[in-house]
A and B are shown apart, each in its own frame.
Chain A
Amino acid sequence: MTVASTAVEFRSVSFRHVSGRPVLSEMSFTLSKGEALALVGRSGSGKTTVLKLINRLFEPSAGEVLVEGVPTTAWDPIRLRRRIGYVIQEVGLFPHLTVARNVGLVPTLEGWEPERIRVRVRELLRMVGLSPERFGDRYPHELSGGQRQRVGVARAVAADPPLVLMDEPFGALDPITRAELQQEFRDLQMQLKRTLVFVTHDIPEACLLGSRIGLVQDGRLVECLTPEEFLRSEHPEVQAVLRTLRVSNRYDR
């Protein structure tokens, strides 16, 4: 039953909000290991819900979400989530813990030896471009927004999860920092070949980091194409999104 090369599969997944409002309807797609899927679409289209269905913060109202061939509802939620790194837009760093302890949290929960955690944390901080000596003992409120995002990324990949979910990970940054982080993250991704699902409003980011781009509209996956195909797509919804994104690009920044 387990399909070794499949990381994530949605089988006609529908999801209703507790209020009964339908959020996703009949969504299906398959993501192989090592692929990076960028989810784009307007706010409220259901992109974040897709991520939360994968790490079982939500459970599907109908259909199945499979991670490594096993339905999320059959996974022990704790074990499932420990295998999935999650970066959210608000970062969600723990304000009462230092940067080093934030980054080392999942390894701590997994019961790693303190020395191994220390080494791993130093390695991760360097990887995201933060000096362990300067930043390890600081608290999140002593960091800039960009530094916090870096810590958030480092924390998400600390225990080397095979799957990483990111919800507008670079959304709140200034354009220069964002471009730097995107480039750095791309280099990392090239080395580590993790499976990645991320939500973005930024088409250049989707093309840079994604091996495929999925357009979500009204809870449906209307297109799922490579970046080249996506930019050339004649699909009216893709055209509409490209247009609106261009317009927002011109005026927002």
Chain B
Amino acid sequence: MEFIQFFVLHGDEVLRLTGEHLVLVGLSTGGAVLIGIPLGVGLARNPRWRRPVLGLVNVIQTIPSLALFAILIPLPVIGGIGAGTALIALVLYSLLPVVSNTVAGLTGIDPAVKEAAVAMGMTNQQLLWRVELPLALGVILTGVRLATVIGVGLATIAAAIGAGGLGMFIFRGLAMLDSRLILAGAIPAATMALAADLILGRVEQRFGARPTA
């Protein structure tokens, strides 16, 4: 009950940090989509680059997030304390599901369909926009959904380098051994992750579910 009391008392701050958190996740997922989908298209077309690049993206994923922040902080230009550095790290983490699903979606298309498209005189651009991306959309959206859900969780850690967000509550709660504070960060974050999963799952069903021949 004292927990509900806490929410009533600190509602403003909960809202503010939730807002910051949403901005962090939105920007980082957006960045991952903007970089990841074109990168995935490039890798799908150049099999020679696929293994090394996907390998690199995979390796980034295995670096513990706190360690990645620590690596980034001393770097010039992109480093330092604050939301900018955190965003770079979050984008790097969100990249893997977007890139690998884009590659999987594009390479999973029936080769007969692609051959028919080329043989009927489609240019590379037409092949990409009219055939490949629409057919891969479902798998790509799954990657975006994964990236978003992962991003919500990871963004809590971004508070460690002063990026704000719900992680502020969690770190403060850990430092003060105050479970109310920890929950005040964890519950909205968990809700956000579930909501993102649900909403993006709907989007995926609406736009991604393509009948297969």
Is A212 in contact with chain B by the CB < 8 A criterion? no
Is the CB–CB distance between A141 and B120 below 8 Å? Answer: no
> Which of A81-89, A128-136, A175-183 interfaces with chain B?
A81-89
CB-CB under 8 A from B213, the residues of chain A are 91, 93, 95, 139-141, 148
Chain B residues, CB < 8 A from A92 = 110, 112-113, 115-117
Smallest CB–CB gap between A167 and chain B, Å? 10
Q: B134: which A residues are within 8 A, CB to CB?
A: 96
Of B44-52, B85-93, B121-129, the stretch lying at the interface with chain A is B121-129
Q: Which of B110, B115, B120 contacts A109 (CB 8 A)?
A: B120
Cα(A174)–Cα(B119), bound, Å: 27
How many whole Å from A13's CB to the nearest CB in chain B?
A: 19
Chain A residues with CB under 8 A of B210: 95-96
Q: Is B211 an interface residue (CB 8 A)?
A: yes
Interface size class on chain B is: 20 to 34
B199 interfacial contact with A, CB 8 Å: no
Residue of A nearest to B116 (CB): A92
Whole-angstrom CA separation of A235 from B127 in the bound complex: 45
**A57 near B121 (CB under 8 angstroms)?**
no
User: Which chain B positions have C-beta within 8 A of A29?
Assistant: none
Q: Is A79 in contact with chain B by the CB < 8 A criterion? A: yes
CA distance A133 to B113 in the complex (A): 25
Contact of A88 among B112, B122, B123, B135 (CB under 8 A): B112
Cβ contact within 8 Å between A88 and B120: no
CB distance from B148 to the nearest CB of A (A): 24
Whether A109 lies near B113 (C-beta < 8 A) is: no
For A137-160 the 0/1 string (1 means CB < 8 A from B) is: 001111000001000000110000
> Is A141 a contact partner of B211 (Cβ separation < 8 A)?
yes
Please, which residues of chain B bring their CB within 8 A of the CB of A96? 131, 134-135, 210-211
Of all A-B residue pairs in the complex, the 6 with the closest CB atoms, nearest first, are A92-B116, A81-B121, A90-B112, A82-B121, A92-B112, A86-B119
A interface residues with partner B (beta carbon < 8 Å): 55, 57, 77-82, 84, 86, 88, 90-96, 105-106, 109, 139-142, 148, 155-156
Q: Which residues of B contact A (CB under 8 A)?
A: 110, 112-113, 115-123, 126, 131, 134-135, 210-213
| Additional pairs, 10, CB under 8 Å, beyond known A88-B112, A109-B121 | A81-B120, A86-B119, A88-B116, A88-B119, A91-B112, A91-B116, A94-B113, A106-B121, A141-B211, A141-B213
